Amino acid sequence: MREKAISIAEVQPGKLAADIGVGTGFITEGLIQKGLLVIAVDQSEAMLAEMKRKFANIGGIDYRLGEAGRLPIPDEAVDYEFANMYLHHVEFPPKAIEEMVRILKPGGKLVITDLDENTFEFLRDEHHDHWMGFKREEIRQWFTEAGLKNVVVDCVGESCCAQSSYGDEYASISIFVASGEK
Ligand SMILES: C[S@@+](CC[C@H](N)C(=O)[O-])C[C@H]1O[C@@H](n2cnc3c(N)ncnc32)[C@H](O)[C@@H]1O
């Protein structure tokens, strides 16, 4: 999934990317391997601290504490932007997409990988999911309304799996990859 997301953006070494809702740096790791500089944003100090430990000997990462509604990055600053398994956690997904588009340079690319719409309520309680995935059509609409062109929402060909810790429920949810250019 990471390779697919990064290859869709056609990244070039030396350029600047943002990884929003970076967690402990799953996407960032792939970007660094491709020779990019990365601004890593998360609302959680604990996540950023864990990521700093993990990447202690690796340069090229700028860690920033920040929230979906107002990212700590100026307008039109980055060439590429990625957000993996982030969108279903934010309160206002269309606003979060608009904010991600704000920080992209003209010609820059946004790639979001996230869950397709699902019915697994236990993920809300156990994984703090705010949304039970998304319809691909609504993602396409939000990308377009935010001003992106060449919008494509496609299948990654992989699923995200989770076992409920309280019952015997097991979730297997397909993943989409959405991309667009500013
Ligand atoms: C499921 S994790 C995904 C982490 C990472 N992108 C990955 O692929 O492993 C979601 C991350 O988004 C962050 N997050 C959730 N809501 C956020 C918000 N409103 N603003 C900024 N970060 C947020 C969480 O702190 C968490 O690190």
Q: What is the pLDDT of residues 122-170, one digit of tens each?
A: 667 666 778 889 999 999 999 999 999 999 999 887 777 677 776 677 7
Give the chain's domain count.
Answer: 1
- Computed on alpha carbons and rounded to an integer, the radius of gyration of the chain in Å comes to 16
Which of 26, 27, 41, 43 maximizes ligand 1 atoms within 8 Å of its Cβ, making it the mutation to test the pocket? 43
Ligand 1 atom closest to the Cα of residue 83 is 6
Protein residue with least CA distance to atom 4, ligand 1: 23
Mean pLDDT (whole number) for 79-99: 97
Per DSSP, what are the bridge partners of residue 152?
A: 179
C-beta 84 within 6 A of ligand 1: yes
- Given pLDDT bands bounded at 50, 70 and 90, which one contains residue 23? very high
Pocket of ligand 1 contains residue 123 by CB under 6 Å = no
CATH of residue 45:
3.40.50.150
**DSSP conformational letter for 150:** E
68 lines ligand 1 (CB under 6 A): yes
Q: 82 CB less than 6 Å from ligand 1?
A: no
For residue 23, the 8-state DSSP code is: T
Ligand 1 pocket residue status of 71, Cβ below 6 Å: no
Extract the tokens encoding 68.
């979906």
CB atoms closer than 10 angstroms to residue 85:
19
Residues 29-67 have pLDDT tens digits of 999 999 999 999 999 999 999 999 999 999 999 999 999
CB 164 within 8 A of CB 103: no
Q: What domain range includes position 78?
A: 2-181
Amino acid residing at 34: K
